[in-house]
Amino acid sequence: MTVNDEPASITEKLGAAILETVADAILVADRQGIIRLWNPGAARIFGFSPEEAIGQPLDLIIPERLRARHADGYDRVMETGESRYGSGDLLAVPALTRDGSQISVEFTIVPLSESGSRPTGMAAILRDVTSRFNEIRTLRRRVADLEKAPMAAVGEEGAGR
């Protein structure tokens, strides 16, 4: 890619480079929720190769207890073309990896359509935020423990009178 390339060519090359190198997972699913694109970031985060993921339903990475709710939301986006998670707003949810472990991801979606028609699918950008989620959970536990500690100390002092 050079700066002298045509804008469309630059955009195409830049898009391909981003898909291949970004650390985030980028995936595309069709109207039925079947994975059609799975970038190297998705392979790294979830552990499934593109060959394993492409052609599979999104349930591949959705915990079983959340699948019905996800299907309802996905169907709504496919019907209306609208999502509250597509304008820079992030949704934090649990997801599954290849080995069955659960991770925390934040994601945003973009409904895909041709010429203003109903959506034909969606693109999603997902980021693994498991470490941050675990740190926040640990901090909340510590704060809760500290909030209990002064009361315990007061209770012990009062008992000796």
pLDDT the model gives residue 55: 98
pLDDT for position 110: 87
What is the tally of structural domains in the chain? 2
Helix (H) or strand (E) holding 128: strand 121-128
pLDDT class for 81, splitting at 50, 70, 90? confident
Same domain as 113, residue 156: no
% of the chain residues with pLDDT over 90: 53
Per-residue pLDDT, averaged over 14-38, amounts to: 94
pLDDT tens figures, 121-154: 999 999 999 977 777 777 888 887 777 776 555 5
60 and 114 belong to one structural domain: yes
Indicate if the pLDDT at residue 92 is higher than 90. Answer: no
In the numeric block, the tokens 């898909």 are attached to: 19
For the beta sheet containing 102-112, the strands, ordered from the edge strand earlier in sequence to the opposite edge, are: 35-38, 25-30, 121-128, 102-112, 91-96
Q: For residue 151, what pLDDT is reported?
A: 57
Q: Does residue 24 have a pLDDT over 80?
A: yes
Report pLDDT for 132.
Answer: 79
Q: How far apart are CA 39 and CA 43, in angstroms?
A: 7
Neighbours of 26 (CB within 10 A): 18
103 and 60 assigned to the same domain? yes
Give me the domain span that covers residue 138.
130-161
What predicted TM-score, i.e. pTM, was given to this entire model?
0.77
Per-residue pLDDT band for 78 (boundaries 50, 70, 90) equals very high
Q: Is residue 1 part of a domain?
A: no
Closest by CA to 125, choosing from 53, 62, 64, 39, is 39
Report the alpha-carbon distance of residue 78 to residue 72 in Å, rounded: 10
Q: What is the CATH number of the domain that holds 115?
A: 3.30.450.20
Structural domain contains residue 2 = no
Residues 6+ apart with CB under 8 A from 13: 1, 5
- Whether 38 is in a domain gets the answer yes
Identify how many contiguous H helices and E strands the chain contains and give both numbers. 5, 5
Q: Residue 157 — very low, low, confident or very high, per pLDDT cuts 50/70/90?
A: low
Residues 107 and 29 in one domain: yes
